[in-house]
Every structure is written in C-alpha cells, then in structure tokens.
Amino acid sequence: MPIIRLIFLLLFFTATTGICETPNTASIRGTFMDAEDGHLIPDVLVRAAPEKTGHVYPDREFEHATATGKDGTFSLTIPNAPQTYYAFSLMAIHPQYQSRLLRHEMSAGKSQYDLGKIALKRTLSLQGSVSGAENLAGLIANLKMHNVSADFFRAAAPIEHAAKTDTQGKFQFTELYPIAYTLTISRDGVIIVYVPSIDPQKQDQISVRLPTIETLRGKVVDTQERPIARAQIYATRRPETPEAHSARLDSTQTDETGNFQVKVLETEPQFLSIRVSKRGYFSRVYENVDIRKMPSIIQLEKGVTVEGHIILPHGLPSDAQYAVKVFGADADMKPSLNPLALQKPILSRYFPVTEPTFTIDGLFAERYTLYIVGDGISATSVDVDASASPESVHVLADRPTTTLRGQILWADTGEPVPNAVVSRAWYPWELHPHDLSMTLDHFEAETDTHGNFEFSNLTEARYQLHIRAVHAVYDDATERYQRRFIHKQIEVPSAGTTYRIYLGKRDGTPFTK
C-alpha cells in the first residue's frame, strides 16, 4: 500500500463500524467506482456526519469512519435516534481521486441506506519543463490555487503544491483538482518564472523558458539626504485578475550606506510594484514600474512619534499584552454584524502589560484616535493631534471587560430554544489592520439545552445580536420533520446584563432584562 494511503488512514480512520443496527442507529452502505473505466476503488476513506434536526449548522465533525475493501464497498453505522437526526453527510477521500461530499436526508422509520455505486473522478497531473539556462536542477516550482476555486474546494483540495526540477529542468505535479492555479518557479528564494493561470483540466503539460532577470539598484535616503540603513525593499508581481495570486519576486534591505539591489524578472510595467519601508518612516510604493525609469534615489519622510503612559486594570497576567490601535479622527466606530464591512485600524502596536509606556511612530501630522484594548481590558480611546507635536498622552484604561449573557425562549410556549446560533456585532477596535476573514468562533455562540448563551471579554457597549434557530415539527403524512428557519435581529443596550430574548409568532417585545 502506498505510504500516502497509510498516512490518510492513520490520520482520519477513527472508527470502523459494524453492520448490525440497533433501533437508534442506521447503516450506510455503498460502493465506490472509477468514473472513467468503472473499476472498483479500495482504500477509500469514508467519513460520515449525522445532521441534527434542530441545529442551524450541519454537523461537520465526521466522527464515524471506515474504508472500502478490495471490492470498493463500505458499510458503517451512524446514530439515528428519532427526533434527533435529520440527514447525514458523507465525505470520500482518496489520494488518487477528487474528494467528494454527499448529503442524504433521513427518515425516522428507516434504518438502512444503500447508496449504490458512487463514481469518483481521478485527480489530475501536470508535467512541466524549464529551459533557458545551463543549470536547471533544484529549482522550486510552486502551484497555488486561485481564490475563487479555493472557496469551493477548500474542504478537500490542497491549496498549494511544490516540486523540484531535475537536471533536465523537468518537474511534475500530481493530485491536482480541476482548478485554476498560479505557477511560480524560484531559485534561491527569488522568483524567476511567473505564470498567472494554469488549469490542469485543460492542459497536462507546460513548457517554460526562463525570462530575462533584471537587477534594480538604488539608494534610500531621508529628507536630509542621509542614507537609511536596513530599509526593506519588496518587488511584487501583481496578477491580471482578482482570482489569481500576486508573488513577491525578491526582497532585500539596504546596507549601512543606504544602497540596495533586487532581482526582478522581465515583467510588463502594469504588473510590477516596488515597496520601500522602514519603521518610523512613511512607506513609499511605486506602481506600474518600468525598471529602466525607476529613480535611483528613493527618499523616505520620517513620521511623527506619539508617546503615551497607560494605567491598566489590576490582576492581569504578567505575560499578557495590550494593543494600541490607531484610527483616523473621523473614523466610523459603529459596530456591525459583518466584520469585513468595518473600518480597520491604520496600524496596531503591541506592548507587554508590564510596560506602561508605549510609543507609536510613523504617523502623519494629523489627528488620530487611539484605542487601547486587550484580554481583560475594556476598549479605551484617547484623541491625539500629531500635527501639534504632542507631549506624552496619559490614558486611564483600568476598566476590566464584561460578559453578555442571554437566554433564547419560544414566545408561544416559553420553552428554551437549544442549539440556536447567536451572532454578535463587532467594533472596529476588535479588528487588525490586515484582517481579510474571520472565523465564526470569535463572534458566534450556540445556546445550550436551557437556551443560554454567553459572550465574554467584551467592552461595556451596545451590541447588535442576530439569532438563528430551527423550529422542527414532525409530519406524520411524510414521516419527516418539516423544518422552519427563524431569524431575529435585535440590539441590547449594554453588556454585563442577562437578557431573555423571545422567538416566534407572538414575539411582542425584543427582550426583557
């Protein structure tokens, strides 16, 4: 058995279940076959997750698992308790085939599900060759999945692949999906080939001739024309489409005399950018760079520095940190249930709680609002006018965080609503400058059997809440549950209080304390 199959089975083969069922279990059977020639596939890892009737989100733990035998057939048992499970999801994984996810609804009186023959498509391969140089061995070829495709396949397909070229400049990728990828080839950490888009479903071979590598030389100085040492230089190749990936071609830093040189592959000017930065200075970014017209002297302007003294809550762990987050003075600080729609801080700096003095450098001579936040520290703001060469600012940030608790009840019966999903709004001070996505764990909670939920480590403020629940009623005619999704959005005036929130047709009030 190939070693990669053993790895898959060791990582995911959590339980091989038997064939017999009890009244509260169901048996799932099926056979996996090759979609091209129909031959049966052994060693397919099969993982199942039952979906609970009253849950908003389907269960994706996939705790029940087995593997197909030599005849490609599997059989496993999952829970099937009446009034508890509504459907099941099945994930099939094999290193030589594209992973597949299936979902089947369950009936309360049914205990056996024969899925018959299930076809799996083979993963794809890509062979490549590099020419244009004498020494072609040991180059690193890298494939990175395009963003749009990654959203669809991220649960099953590897996002990146890497391979080395042999002495003839040949390389090969296997286990690819019918997805567009960006290809880069590098030597000693410098990218020397960039191909914005390759689809292995449309092409299984690619030949690349090394383009011309140019060297950009320059010097970084301040406004007094004094050299700046250890300034960072980044050369980036931008993609033609939003789905493809940019690539950092090369990076370096200036020496003690402010001089630098970076290697840049031959690229059309509209796709090349150069960034020069140094802590405490304003970064300079050159877009649409023509190497031959790039200035040899790059001047950076030193930013304004703000120093502050802070008083924090007592009892914080000695290894804890606090963050100083910088916003423009006119930034909209309203909360939102969509964190990606919020205004992000201009920059964030982190300091240990044992150091009550902080320094923020590299600011423009403008007005700012600084927010001090951290675990156990309520968000505290202070306005700073950096244009007036301010003296040290003093911030009293000694308020501890609080907890928002609530209970979700059905308005018609007064019974608690278990497994409801409660999302809370975010404030801009909870974000980081480069946040692109958020995991739901940060701002969602699920009610327990008594309908209770809790959000901790919050600043005392108003919070919007979005509640989602499932109301399930058994239909005798169809022998199935009819599920209705219920949504409600409210705003609570403050944290630190326990609220009762009602869902249903007779919901006359948004909440009561």
**Any idea of the CA torsion for 193, 196, 202, 204, to the nearest 10 degrees?**
20
Whether residue 509 lies inside any domain: the answer is no
Q: Which residue has the higher pLDDT, 468 or 8?
A: 468
Q: Rounded to whole angstroms, how far apart are CA atoms 382 and 392?
A: 12
pLDDT of 14 > 60? The answer is no
Phi, psi (5° rounding) for residue 386?
Answer: -75, -15
Asked if residue 92 and residue 175 are part of one domain, the reply reads: no
DSSP letter string, 22-37: -TTEEEEEEEEEETTT
Per-residue pLDDT band at 436 (split at 50, 70, 90): low
Asked if residue 104 and residue 31 are part of one domain, the reply reads: yes
pLDDT of 71 > 50? The answer is yes
What size, in residues, is the chain? 513
Q: Which residue has the higher pLDDT, 472 or 325?
A: 325
Whether residue 511 lies inside any domain: the answer is no
User: Residue 76, SS3?
Assistant: strand
Q: Which pLDDT value is given to residue 365?
A: 87
CATH code assigned at 100: 2.60.40.2190
84, with CB counted inside 10 A (0-12, 13-18, 19+), is middle
Q: Rounded to whole angstroms, how far apart are CA atoms 111 and 246?
A: 51
Least confident residue range of 147-156, 242-251, 345-354, 447-456: 147-156
Note the Cα 353 to chain centre separation in Å. 29
Per the prediction, the chain carries an average pLDDT of 87
User: Residue 417, SS3?
Assistant: coil
* DSSP-assigned beta bridge partners for residue 65: 47
Over residues 171-179, mean pLDDT: 93
Asked if residue 113 and residue 7 are part of one domain, the reply reads: yes
Per-residue pLDDT band at 16 (split at 50, 70, 90): very low
Mention every residue, 6+ apart, whose C-beta is less than 8 A from residue 258: 219, 220, 221, 227, 228, 229, 231
User: Where a domain ends, among 266, 299, 332?
Assistant: 299
Which residue carries 């733990």 as its tokens?
61
Q: Which pLDDT value is given to residue 156?
A: 67
Question: Computed from CA positions of residues 430, 432, 433, 436, in that sequence, does the dihedral angle turn out positive or negative?
Answer: negative
Question: Computed from CA positions of residues 412, 414, 417, 423, in that sequence, does the dihedral angle turn out positive or negative?
Answer: positive
pLDDT of 340 > 60? The answer is yes
Phi, psi (5° rounding) for residue 196?
Answer: -65, -30
Q: Supply 330's token pair.
A: 């006119």
pLDDT of 80 > 90? The answer is no
Q: Is the distance from CB of 268 to CB of 214 less than 8 angstroms?
A: no
Whether residue 513 lies inside any domain: the answer is no
pLDDT of 151 > 80? The answer is no
Alpha helices for 26-170 (secondary structure H)? 147-153
pLDDT of 382 > 70? The answer is yes
pLDDT of 129 > 50? The answer is yes
DSSP letter string, 330-344: T-----BS-GGGSPP
pLDDT (tens digit per residue) in 268-283 = 999 999 999 998 898 9
Q: Is the distance from CB of 460 to CB of 496 less than 8 angstroms?
A: yes
Per-residue pLDDT band at 226 (split at 50, 70, 90): very high
Total number of domains in the chain: 5
Asked if residue 106 and residue 22 are part of one domain, the reply reads: yes
Q: Which pLDDT value is given to residue 505?
A: 60
Q: Which pLDDT value is given to residue 488?
A: 92
Asked if residue 61 and residue 43 are part of one domain, the reply reads: yes
Over residues 220-242, mean pLDDT: 94
Q: Which residue has the higher pLDDT, 155 or 113?
A: 113
Per-residue pLDDT band at 392 (split at 50, 70, 90): confident
pLDDT of 110 > 90? The answer is no
% of the chain beyond a pLDDT of 90? 64
User: Where a domain ends, among 238, 268, 299?
Assistant: 299
Q: In what order do the strands lie in the sheet with 247-253?
A: 247-253, 232-237, 272-277, 284-286
Distances (CA, A) of 429 to 106, 373, 379, 447: 45, 7, 7, 26
Q: Which pLDDT value is given to residue 3?
A: 39
Q: Which residue has the higher pLDDT, 255 or 14?
A: 255
Asked if residue 426 and residue 389 are part of one domain, the reply reads: no
Q: Rounded to whole angstroms, how far apart are CA atoms 86 and 107?
A: 7
Q: Rounded to whole angstroms, how far apart are CA atoms 164 and 170?
A: 8
Least confident residue range of 6-10, 63-67, 122-126, 482-486: 6-10
Whether residue 463 lies inside any domain: the answer is yes
pLDDT of 11 > 50? The answer is no
% of the chain beyond a pLDDT of 70? 89
Q: Which pLDDT value is given to residue 384?
A: 93
Asked if residue 132 and residue 80 are part of one domain, the reply reads: no
Q: Which pLDDT value is given to residue 82?
A: 65
Q: Which pLDDT value is given to residue 56?
A: 85
Q: Which pLDDT value is given to residue 159?
A: 87
pLDDT of 179 > 60? The answer is yes
Q: Which pLDDT value is given to residue 380?
A: 96
Asked if residue 273 and residue 197 are part of one domain, the reply reads: no
Note the Cα 112 to chain centre separation in Å. 38
Which residue carries 């877009």 as its tokens?
287
Helix (H) or strand (E) holding 204: none
At position 465, the amino acid (one-letter code) is L
Asked if residue 338 and residue 281 are part of one domain, the reply reads: no
Return the number of other C-beta atoms located less than 10 Å from residue 354's C-beta.
11
Whether residue 41 lies inside any domain: the answer is yes
Over residues 283-295, mean pLDDT: 92
Whether residue 361 lies inside any domain: the answer is yes
pLDDT of 78 > 70? The answer is yes
Asked if residue 23 and residue 79 are part of one domain, the reply reads: yes
Alpha helices for 96-185 (secondary structure H)? 147-153
pLDDT of 383 > 80? The answer is yes
Return the number of other C-beta atoms located less than 10 Å from residue 460's C-beta.
16
Q: Supply 106's token pair.
A: 């369950």
User: Where a domain ends, among 177, 209, 241?
Assistant: 209
pLDDT of 289 > 90? The answer is yes
Q: Which residue has the higher pLDDT, 258 or 89?
A: 258
Question: Computed from CA positions of residues 310, 315, 317, 322, in that sequence, does the dihedral angle turn out positive or negative?
Answer: negative
Asked if residue 316 and residue 283 are part of one domain, the reply reads: no
Q: Is the distance from CB of 60 to CB of 49 less than 8 angstroms?
A: yes
CATH code assigned at 236: 2.60.40.1120
Asked if residue 80 and residue 12 are part of one domain, the reply reads: yes
* DSSP-assigned beta bridge partners for residue 483: 472
Q: Is the distance from CB of 123 to CB of 92 less than 8 angstroms?
A: no
Whether residue 246 lies inside any domain: the answer is yes
Q: Which pLDDT value is given to residue 19?
A: 41
Task: Determine the structural domain holding residue 204 and report its residue range.
Answer: 124-209
Return the number of other C-beta atoms located less than 10 Å from residue 437's C-beta.
6
Whether residue 512 lies inside any domain: the answer is no
Over residues 365-392, mean pLDDT: 89
Q: Which pLDDT value is given to residue 55?
A: 86
Over residues 393-421, mean pLDDT: 93
Over residues 346-364, mean pLDDT: 92
CATH code assigned at 165: 2.60.40.10
